[in-house]
Structure 1
Amino acid sequence: MIFGGAMALFEGIAAVAKDDLFLSTRHYVFEFSLQGWGWVHLILGIIIILAGCAVLTGALWARFLGVFVAGLGAIANFLWIPYYPIWATVLVAVNLFIVWALCHGMHREAGHAHAA
């Protein structure tokens, strides 16, 4: 999660700085300004990093928070695909892997609790 959050953070910084590596897309349904999308990714990246640090504590609430914010990260990057296709696709995959890993960990812990 910390890695995925850091990548979203860097993506947001690049967009807010109006870097020229992004595609200009016209007539896109979810069209915001590049800076608007940059702030979305910047804030979401910070929240994902903080949630990743909380998950390291082992708290159950942190796992639920992690699933929620990683899900938001996957959606935000899916909507970001027209602006930076390869990077956004990789981050969608990273966020979906995070959701799977956190849910799989919760399922395994629940199974061990019933076995005891």
Structure 2
Amino acid sequence: TDPVANVSINVVVTNKFANVANTYPVTAPKGMPIFGVLNQLQDSNQLNFTYSISKSYGIFLESVNGLAGSTENKTYWELLSKRERKTTRLNVGIGCYQPERNENFIMNFTTWA
């Protein structure tokens, strides 16, 4: 494989309430949506995630490693990108977002309350 065609990223799972972070280093083809990257990690038994598909909005992340967001508890998985010390909230979901080389893709369990 052409190394230029691959990107090395870290998938980071954080939990605002438990103050924990797990990092999963992964190499994926350049241009692969993060959904494919998460499936790679799940297929290698490193990470577990579930999702639903909305006809209007596409793939929606529901749970990571057994922890699901809850409307009742006002919790959800916030999607963030950290590159060169700058963290930004993503405005697209896991079906569309394409991570870049040396990026930290962060799934942060948090609240909107």
**What TM-score results when the alignment is normalised by the length of structure 1?**
0.23
Higher helix share: 1
**Structure ranking higher on relative contact order (CA contacts 8 Å, 6+ apart):** 2
Higher strand share: 2
**What TM-score results when the alignment is normalised by the length of structure 2?**
0.23
